[in-house]
Amino acid sequence: MECRVEMVRAKVCYLSTGIMDTAFDSQVWPLLESSLQSGFDLAHVAFSPFRCKMTDRYLHKKEELESTGIKTLYFQQGPPMSRVFLWMDTRRMYPFLRKWWGGKERLVIHCRGHLNAYRGLLLQEMSPTLIAVIADLRGAVSDEVGQGRGLVAKGFGLYLRNLYQRLECQIVEGADAILCVSKAFKEFLQTRYDVENLMIIPTYVDTSRFSFSPSLRQLYREKLRIADRTVLIYSGGVAPWQKIEDIVDLFIKLKENAADLFMLFLTQEPARLIKMIGGKIHSNDFTVLQVPHREVPGCLCAADVGVLLREDRLTNHVAAPIKFSEYMCCGLPCIISKNIGDTAQVIQEGGAGIVLDSEGKVPTVSEFRRLLALNREEISKRMHQKYSSKIYFETILRLYRTLAEGGLA
């Protein structure tokens, strides 16, 4: 009589910051699909921001995600301003998680961001021998939340800064594994804490989509009606530290010596960005678009030079902007400010752009022309070796298996 042994799939729960997070499509969703395809028993818990509205876009995306077979539990987080609210979030989630998990075997919880990492530790307290926590830290959050303006905002910002620093300390001490986005962030954490279990997982890219393509470039230049223009592109948000006004000023100065220069903005907040431009650029010389993530590669291929400017502060010193990885994998030469995580080193070693060493500096005419002459296919190929999601998915899935088997104690 044959004895058949049924293989038990390792259980993994991923805590995300919600399906409408700007990083979800590029950083979370592909990893969830890869985990599922690799045989893990996967559950995804999506914590939407406090007071997040259920828009048509949200409902459509929810439907699209569910069609992939990824089991997702949806929760709206409480105000992220105290341990009490984080504890309440965890208590609301736990019965649903326990029902799926069963509580009898190892569970790996991958926690994206500081708040989810703390929630993961709270879950671990309920079953310390069975739950392993991966803290996927995305940056210097205590610095980011402390950027208030005005007396009251600054006071509240100081309170949040202290809270997040205490949470970070507890997370670093308690997590079974810690992921961080840059070498600069790893060094920052190691100078602040006595920690060794750190892995660098930069903001990766699906290189089957983000790759320089001459045919895609031609298609999108015609589609966007910019076939006869030299195009500077910014893709990203509109937070103060993303320096939209400085990008506008840079464009205006570059245009003094390049009459055909055109500015293309990609953002999820087009109305706010148009307001920030404030009429400084002639309407014939720019456009602001909100496009689905699947169309971003075409827009990047259509452009000639990318731009990424940031404030000179801790938040940016340890950052790994997703858009930089996408720029690079599309072979897009870049103009960037210094001290943005590891980006300056990547640019200089890869010969892929210009690093501005002071605020307000503008590339010379000859420097800008050299950018336009760079071989984009070569840049794209080099950067695929650095940022391809396949490389990092293998690392993360291997970590899941190790922790599921009780490793890294």
φ/ψ of 7, rounded to 5, equals -75, 130
Contact between 15 and 119 (Cβ < 8 Å): yes
Tokens, residue 196: 């060794």
- According to CATH, where is 3.40.50.2000 located in the chain? 11-204+389-404, 214-387
3-state secondary structure of 306: strand
CATH number belonging to domain 11-204+389-404: 3.40.50.2000
240 band by pLDDT with thresholds 50, 70 and 90: confident
Whole-number Å distance between alpha carbons of 328 and 352: 8
Tokens, residue 398: 């291997």
DSSP structural state of residue 8: P
Whole-number Å distance between alpha carbons of 71 and 35: 12
Mean pLDDT over residues 247-252, rounded?
97
Contact between 216 and 297 (Cβ < 8 Å): yes
> Does residue 2 carry a pLDDT above 70?
no
- Report the chain's mean pLDDT, rounded to a whole number: 93
Q: What is the pLDDT of residues 142-180, one digit of tens each?
A: 888 766 555 556 788 889 999 999 999 999 999 999 999
Q: What is the pLDDT of residue 146?
A: 64
Tokens, residue 120: 């993961």
3-state secondary structure of 27: helix
Q: Which of the listed CATH numbers 3.20.20.70, 3.40.50.620, 1.10.3720.10, 3.40.50.2000 matches domain 214-387?
A: 3.40.50.2000
Q: What is the pLDDT of residues 296-314, one digit of tens each?
A: 999 999 999 999 999 999 9
Computed on alpha carbons and rounded to an integer, the radius of gyration of the chain in Å comes to 22
> Does residue 196 carry a pLDDT above 90?
no
Q: What is the pLDDT of residues 390-400, one digit of tens each?
A: 999 999 999 99
Mean pLDDT over residues 177-197, rounded?
94
Q: What is the pLDDT of residues 362-375, one digit of tens each?
A: 999 999 999 999 99
Tokens, residue 65: 């995600």
**Nearest to residue 12, comparing CAs of 127, 134, 126?**
134
> Does residue 6 carry a pLDDT above 60?
no
Q: What is the pLDDT of residue 1?
A: 43
Q: What is the pLDDT of residues 21-75, one digit of tens each?
A: 989 999 999 999 999 999 999 999 999 888 787 888 899 999 999 999 999 999 9
